[in-house]
Amino acid sequence: SNLHSDNNDTLRLISYYPTNSAETGNRCKEHSDYGTLTLLSTDGTSGLELFDFDDNGDDDDGEQKNQQQRCWVPVPHVEGALVVNVGSLLSGWTGGLLKATLHRVAGPASLNSRSSREVLLRAVQHRRTSIAFFVDPNEDLPSSLLDGNVSNRNDEDKRNQAMRGLQDALGGMSISEYIKWRSG
């Protein structure tokens, strides 16, 4: 079934003005996008970070770490490429197989950043511009998502698991209510 036929998508021009300050924290707070996918084109100005695993090798005793730690890592700019973020609804639909991308735009005073402070100091001296295309599903779930032909029991189990994941992501709200709640 087509879950994206209602033209419920949004294109936004996002601009972060220069602060010229070493005290600048996050220029955009930590968040995940609420819909299905976000396609992001950036101008190359540093600061976009995602919350990910980082294995920085040795611990304080010089021994190899057995576990990776979560931290904010820079998203490299690749000329002509798009950044693709998974949204909360897609994460719910896949039962968490695809994880919603927790991200932010960091400044030189942002905490727990793996970005170089010098790079972030240079970044806050420039305007940062991004173009984001937010892909959001139809406001009402079509009944065909819940019904339809299921070829075998395994497919039915997967469909039911995906629907439970979506219902968990929505927290009892309709898609319309969820998007309005997440977008303010």
Encode the chain (184 residues) as per-residue pLDDT tens digits: 577 788 888 999 999 999 999 999 999 999 999 889 999 999 999 999 999 876 554 444 444 444 567 899 999 999 999 999 999 888 887 878 899 999 999 999 999 999 999 999 999 999 999 999 999 888 875 433 433 333 444 556 665 666 666 666 667 777 777 777 777 6
Q: In the chain, at which residue ranges do the beta strands (DSSP E only) sit?
A: 10-16, 28-31, 37-42, 48-54, 69-74, 83-86, 103-105, 128-135
Find, among 17, 26, 13, the residue nearest to 132 by Cα.
Answer: 13
Number of neighbouring beta carbons within 10 Å of residue 94? 16
3-state DSSP of 54-88: ECCCECCCCCECCCCEEEEEECCCCCCCCEEEECH
DSSP class of residue 126? S
For the entire predicted model, the pTM comes to 0.76
